[in-house]
């Protein structure tokens, strides 16, 4: 008879021991490690942040009232996630924390999908965000040039918008401003 080896759950110490050129996350006690994002991924994420920042963080051409943060480390119970972008309403988080991570669940997250992370983002991380009551989630796919917008409804994600290519959208919770999706994609030659 073989003895089963009990595997200890991954912890923050496991993330801190990783090399700088990777991103570590812990979900359901399992350590997930991925390389730094590719250029098309980084372009989509950066461009979306540029679109949302002025109207929603600064109040220039929009309502303000948000913190929008690139790649924040978020500790939610024993789970440690790093969404590509996350947003907190300033009414819930008046001042940004001084620590290296957040412990308050965001109001909105955005994951830019990569072939190596799409399954983890969709199946594991979205479950954590739903459990923690994150109200809105966006999935951006630079390869397919698509945006999927989800709203949390009774603990489950409800798809409320799909768009892509050259579409112009008003996507909740940022529907006060129109976003041109074309700016999120690297032009194809």
Could you report the per-residue pLDDT of 120-145, keeping only the tens digit for each?
999 999 999 999 999 999 999 999 99
pLDDT one-digit tens code per residue, 30-76: 999 998 888 999 999 999 999 999 999 999 999 999 999 999 999 99
Please, what is the average pLDDT of the chain?
94
User: Which residue ranges make up each domain of the chain?
Assistant: 37-184
Backbone φ, ψ for residue 99 (5° rounding): -70, 175
Taking 80 as the threshold, does the pLDDT of residue 189 lie above it? no
pTM of the model: 0.92
The CATH class for the domain spanning 37-184 reads alpha beta
CB 95 within 8 A of CB 121: no
Q: How many CB atoms lie within 10 A of CB 32?
A: 20
């Amino acid at each position: 008879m073989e003895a089963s080896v009990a595997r200890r759950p991954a912890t923050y110490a496991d993330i801190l021991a990783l090399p700088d050129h990777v991103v570590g996350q812990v979900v359901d006690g399992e350590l997930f490690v991925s390389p730094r994002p590719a250029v098309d991924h980084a372009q989509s994420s950066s461009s979306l942040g540029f679109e949302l920042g002025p109207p929603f963080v600064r109040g220039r051409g929009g309502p303000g009232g948000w913190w929008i943060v690139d790649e924040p480390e978020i500790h939610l119970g024993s789970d440690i996630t790093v969404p590509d972008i996350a947003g907190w309403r300033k009414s819930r988080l008046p001042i940004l924390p001084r620590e290296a991570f957040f412990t308050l669940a965001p109001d909105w997250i955005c994951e830019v999908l990569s072939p190596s992370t799409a399954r983890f983002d969709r199946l594991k991380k979205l479950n954590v965000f739903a459990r923690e009551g994150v109200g809105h989630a966006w999935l951006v796919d630079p390869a397919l040039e698509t945006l999927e917008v989800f709203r949390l409804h009774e603990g489950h994600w409800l798809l409320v918008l799909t768009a892509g290519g050259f579409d112009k959208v008003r996507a909740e919770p940022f529907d006060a401003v129109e976003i041109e999706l074309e700016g999120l994609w690297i032009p194809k030659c």
